[in-house]
Amino acid sequence: MKNLLVKTLANAGALGVAIWLLKDITLTGENTGRQTITLILVALLFGVVNVVVKPIVKLLAFPLFILTLGLITLVINALMLLLTSWLAGQLDLSFHVDGFGAAFLGGLIVSIVAWALHVVLPDDKD
C-alpha cells in the first residue's frame, strides 16, 4: 500500500511539473484544493494506464524497440499521456493534453521527474 502511495505521489509531482512547464497541458479547477484532488486522481489514472495498457503496447511494439534502439519508448510515453488525457475527459476530470507535441514533451518531463522522485522517495524495499 505504501508503494502505491509513493508511486502516486511521484506521478502527481511529475504531472504537476509538466503542467507547470508546458502551456498545452492544462489542469483547471475552481481553487487550489480542487486542482490538487484532480491532480492526484489523474496521477492514479496515469498509474493505471501505465500498469494495464503500457505493457501490452510495449509487447506489440517490440520490433520497433529493436529497430529504434528503445527510442520508441518516448512515443509510447506520449501516447500513454494522451490516453490519460482522454480518459480524464471521460471521467470529467479537468486535465487536458493538447496535441501529440505537448504529449511528447510532457511524457519526457514526466519520465525524468518521476524517475528523480522515485530515487528520492522511499519504497517498500527500504
Nearest 5°: the CA angle 83, 88, 94 is 130
Q: How far is CA 48 from CA 38, 75, 85, 98, 108, in A?
A: 15, 18, 13, 21, 18
- Strand (E) or helix (H) holding 102: helix 100-120
pLDDT at 126: 47
Give the model confidence (pLDDT) of 74-109 as tens digits. Answer: 999 999 999 999 999 999 999 999 999 999 999 999
Distant-in-sequence, close-in-space partners of 35: CB < 8 Å, separation ≥ 6: 27, 28, 29
Going by the DSSP 8-state scheme, the letter that residue 25 receives in this structure is E
Query: Cβ distance 15 to 41 under 8 Å?
Result: no
Mean pLDDT by 10 residues, the chain (126 residues): 80 92 90 90 92 90 90 92 94 93 94 85 62
How far is the C-alpha of 105 from the C-alpha of 125, rounded, in Å?
Answer: 31
- Strand (E) or helix (H) holding 28: none
